[in-house]
Amino acid sequence: MTPLNIRGMPNVPPVPTRTPELPAETLEAMRAGLPGLADRMVEAVIAEVPTFAVAAQESWRPVFYASADQLLTALVEQLRGAADPERSTTSMQEVLDTAYRFGRREARQGRPTEVQLAAYRIGAREIWREWSALAVQHGVGGGEVSVFAEMSFAYLDRFSAAGVAGHADEMARLGLARERHRERLVRALLRELSPEELNLAAEAASWNPPQTLTAVALPLRHHDRGGMINTDPRALEVPDDAVEVPPAGIRLSLIPDVGGKARAPFLASIGKTGAVVGPARPWSSVRSSVNRVIRAVELRAPQSTSLLDTDEMLAELVVTADAEALVDLRARALAPLAALPTTTRERLTDTLRSWLLHHGRRDDIAADLYVSPSTVRYRLRQLRELFGERLHDPGSIAELTVALACGIGSARQTLPPGNDPPHGGDA
């Protein structure tokens, strides 16, 4: 392992420039009392930090003892002034490396850094309580006791800082690994692998599967501003290259458990984001929600900024599933209008659609089109002349309904062009 260098870390006391001059009998008493002091340190930590009490029951007690013994031995070596300064420095470096590894181990166990800092404070208290008593017992003067305290706590602070650094580095590494595993999980979900494979991917990502996932397409302008649409830690981001045709200017997310009764509050919470929201699906089947959102984004008007709920546009999604087939159907169903002038053709198309929607009720059609009932009568007579018995045939009515289901504008664009006379009109 590369030796840990924490000298440049902020808020870490520098290496003391002076070692206190303690009597040989004090140093010898400190060295002889190391095993007992290590015991008391460990027992105090276990007694006062509940998290470590549990850890101690998981065969961690030897790790605690070894770390405490190494720290105490190194401190005594520093106090003895060690004949070879290089040796003393190396000994303390080993202690710092141990603290660093301990911090990394704590991060892997999911314990916050505050837990190990509490353990360090308790350990420092036990050390100073015993060693200061020995110093006073052996007549060490106040000046030397002060230097003794400065040196002891400086090294203990460096030990704590090394543990915190190890914890932070491991958390950063785990975060990157977690993101990689989550990305693999998303790709596995979009490939619709077997339940066994998906469960393994979820386990590798430390991801607890929700009941449902809902695909949401969020405009990048909102995403880039740091806007959040859900704070659930199980929410997943879809990599741009994980879908065959990623929508331009859109970021896809998979949001957990916002289906059923939770859907309405969720939609209300993101009403101003311009999001497109897919259906809630069992988490292992979320690909269908992603596909539907992508289709809805393709159908959406380019400049639209309002929320789009795909559950409210199912008919349009169904009808436009095969665009070429829809064009052919419209051309065949509306063929009787093809030869008419453009203005007449559009008016009659509007009227035919309203007639279908309002089941032939003339007053409702007139109100829908903002024309008089007599105008409706005239136009319906034209339609009967053009379509004949088709307006009484269930099959033809079904085709007309589908042809005009997704808006008049789309229908008009796909009608065969007519030959406009110099003067348009209904006749």
For residue 236, pLDDT beyond 80: yes
Q: What percentage of the chain reaches a pLDDT higher than 90?
A: 22
Q: What is the pLDDT of residue 3?
A: 42
User: How many CB atoms within 10 Å of residue 3?
Assistant: 10
Q: Which residues pair with 414 in a beta bridge?
A: none
Local structure of residue 2 (DSSP, 8 states): P
CA dihedral for 298, 300, 301, 306, sign (positive or negative): negative
For residue 53, pLDDT beyond 60: yes
For residue 417, pLDDT beyond 70: no
Per the prediction, the chain carries an average pLDDT of 79
Q: Which residues pair with 250 in a beta bridge?
A: 219
Q: What is the pLDDT of residue 87?
A: 46
> Can you state the angle between helices 342-357 and 373-387, rounded to 10 degrees?
100
Q: Are 309 and 277 in contact (CB under 8 A)?
A: yes
Q: What is the pLDDT of residue 102?
A: 83
Separation of alpha carbons 347 and 342, rounded Å: 9
Separation of alpha carbons 297 and 291, rounded Å: 10
Kind and range of the H or E element at 46? helix 34-48
CB within 8 Å of 266: residues ≥ 6 apart:
214, 230, 255, 258, 277
Q: What is the pLDDT of residue 424?
A: 33
Q: Convert the pLDDT of each residue in 72-90 to its tens digit.
A: 788 887 777 643 444 444 4
Q: Are 183 and 122 in contact (CB under 8 A)?
A: no
Kind and range of the H or E element at 276? strand 276-282
Question: How large is the average pLDDT for residues 111-125?
Answer: 84
Local structure of residue 260 (DSSP, 8 states): G
Question: How large is the average pLDDT for residues 11-24?
Answer: 65
User: How many CB atoms within 10 Å of residue 271?
Assistant: 10
Q: Tell me which residue of 50, 42, 162, 172 sits closest to 107, measured CA to CA.
A: 172
Separation of alpha carbons 250 and 253, rounded Å: 10
Exposed / middle / buried, residue 294 (Cβ in 10 Å: 0-12, 13-18, 19+): buried
Q: What is the pLDDT of residue 326?
A: 83
Tokens of 81: 């002034």
Q: Are 316 and 405 in contact (CB under 8 A)?
A: yes
Amino acid at 12: V
pTM (global) more than 0.85: no
DSSP string, 199-250: HHHHHHTT----SEEEEEEEEHHHHHTT--S---TT-EEPPGGGSSSPPTTE
pLDDT level of residue 16 (50, 70, 90 thresholds): low
Local structure of residue 389 (DSSP, 8 states): G
Q: What percentage of the chain reaches a pLDDT higher than 70?
A: 82
Q: Convert the pLDDT of each residue in 204-230 to its tens digit.
A: 888 999 999 999 998 876 654 545 577
Q: Convert the pLDDT of each residue in 352-405 to its tens digit.
A: 999 988 888 999 999 999 999 999 999 999 999 999 999 988 888 888 888 887
DSSP string, 335-353: GGGTTS-HHHHHHHHHHHH
pLDDT level of residue 288 (50, 70, 90 thresholds): very high
For residue 264, pLDDT beyond 50: yes
Q: Tokens 């307006």, residue?
A: 391
Question: How large is the average pLDDT for residues 9-14?
Answer: 48
Question: Where is pLDDT greater, at 415 or 310?
Answer: 310
